[in-house]
Structures are given as structure tokens and as C-alpha cells.
Amino acid sequence: MLDPQSVLISPALPDPWPRFEHPLKLGVLASGRGSNLEAIAASIQRGELHAQIQVVIYNNPQAAVAERADRLGLPKVLLNHRHYPSRESLDQDIIQTIQAHGADWVIMAGWMRRVTQVLIEAFPGQVLNIHPSLLPSFPGIHAVEQALAAGVKLSGCTVHQVELQVDSGPILIQAVVPVLPEDTPDTLQARIQAQEHRIYPAAIALAASHSST
Ligand code: GAR
């Protein structure tokens, strides 16, 4: 019998959490609600993830993440993708904004834009993304709906280092959750998101531990 609460995370969450020579300097990119931004901020606040959020970049003037950044007291910058002639030119501005705020980790937390080689090469190995599926299954914007339509019995979320292909690149950590017969996109998404909030801070610590060894 499947326990609806069962969760598998691999590798395990850090215990103890690693400390670095200096706190990691994060630039967070978000397009939507910003619940992952908040989870990362909360982990930092609890003294787990040894980091500081230097700036929150968002691309949609209506995104709820803007209010969340204000509430968390984090600097925010709107870079509206509609005002850029190309993906590369948006990425150039992202790089400048991240660097101007003293950050060198790019944390895509619900960033619903494709990134280019320009951004990836500016911060080698330090552009991370979270996705609501067990990659490489169901990349793209309808991952939860596609998992339900495919009838998978397990789903979850993945944090990975970003490569050019959408939702691809070396996997850092995954969490697995059950898919229940009565699930709707909303209930499955909520179950997955609860785990996103646990694994994203851990994945950032993991990636930084790798790059500092
Ligand atoms: C998250 O579920 C994240 O996995 C997804 O967007 C949501 C953002 O939620 N990202 C992707 O689908 C990337 N392909 P949030 O704004 O509440 O953090």
C-alpha cells in the first residue's frame, strides 16, 4: 500500500550543513509566485544554507514574487523580457545585474524563460534550476499535467546545473513522491512543491561544496 506521505530524497539532505569561506552570493531568477525564493530565504534564516540573496530578478511585472521579495527585504530588479530584442540581450542584462549586486550563483526558481549560452558561460557550473518532475522525464512547462496524463505512479522534482537544452544538465538532487489515483494537477503540484522547498537549498549547498573542493 502506498503511503501518500512517503518521500525519498537522494542524495540525503546535508547534516550538518556545510559552511563556506564566505556566504554564497545568490542571484535568484523568478517568474511566478516565488515560493522557492521564500524557501531558500527561510533556509538561510534558519542558519542552514550558508548564503545571502543579493538580488531577485523577475521578468513579469505582475509576478507575485515581487511582493514576496519586498516582504523579505530583498533587492529586486524587473527585467521584462518583452523589452529585449533577443534572448541573448536579456541574458546580458541578467549577467550585469547579478554582477552589479555582487552575486555569482544564478538560482532559477520558477524562471520560465529559456537561457542562452551567454548566461551559462558567465557563471560556469553555477547556474542552477529546479523542475517539478524526475528529469529527464517531462521537461518543459506542463510537467505535472504530463506526469498525470502518462499515468506515472511516482513523480517528484529535480535540481540540476543548467545546460542549453531546456531543463537539462547534471542532476544535483531529486525528491520522489507518490502519485495518487485521486490526484489533480493542483494536489500533485502541492505535494511536489513541498519537496522542492526542501531540496533546493540543499542542492545549492551541494553544488557549492563540489565547486569548493
Ligand atoms: C516550481 O514548481 C518550479 O519547479 C517550476 O516553477 C515553479 C515555480 O514555483 N519550474 C519549472 O517548471 C521550470 N521548468 P514558485 O514560483 O512558487 O517557486
Ligand 1, atom nearest to 31 Cα: 16
Dihedrals phi, psi of 176, to nearest 5 degrees:
-110, 135
Position 211 scores a pLDDT of 84
- Read off the pLDDT band of 4 (50, 70, 90): confident
**Most distant CA pair in the chain: distance in Å?**
53
Ligand 1, atom nearest to 35 Cα: 17
Is the minimum distance from the CB of 175 to ligand 1 under 6 angstroms? no
Is the minimum distance from the CB of 174 to ligand 1 under 6 angstroms? no
Total-model pTM? 0.97
Instruction: Examine the residue annotation and report whether 210 is marked as an active-site residue of this protein.
Output: no
| Residue type, position 104, single letter | D
**Residue range 79-135, pLDDT digits in tens:** 999 999 999 999 999 999 999 999 999 999 999 999 999 999 999 999 999 999 999
For residue 85, cis peptide bond before it (omega within 30 degrees of 0): no
Set out the domains of the chain in order of their start, with CATH numbers: 8-13+23-211 (3.40.50.170)
Closest to 175 measured CA to CA, from 161, 160, 194, 158: 158
Ligand 1, atom nearest to 131 Cα: 4
- Read off the pLDDT band of 8 (50, 70, 90): very high
Q: How far apart are CA 81 and CA 99, in angstroms?
A: 19
Q: Which residue owns the Cα nearest ligand 1 atom 13?
A: 131
**Residue range 165-213, pLDDT digits in tens:** 999 999 999 999 999 999 999 999 999 999 999 999 999 999 999 886 5
Is the minimum distance from the CB of 54 to ligand 1 under 6 angstroms? no
**Residue range 37-69, pLDDT digits in tens:** 999 999 999 999 999 999 999 999 999 999 999
Position 3 scores a pLDDT of 78
- Read off the pLDDT band of 1 (50, 70, 90): low
Position 175 scores a pLDDT of 98
Is the minimum distance from the CB of 196 to ligand 1 under 6 angstroms? yes
- Read off the pLDDT band of 2 (50, 70, 90): low
Is the minimum distance from the CB of 132 to ligand 1 under 6 angstroms? yes
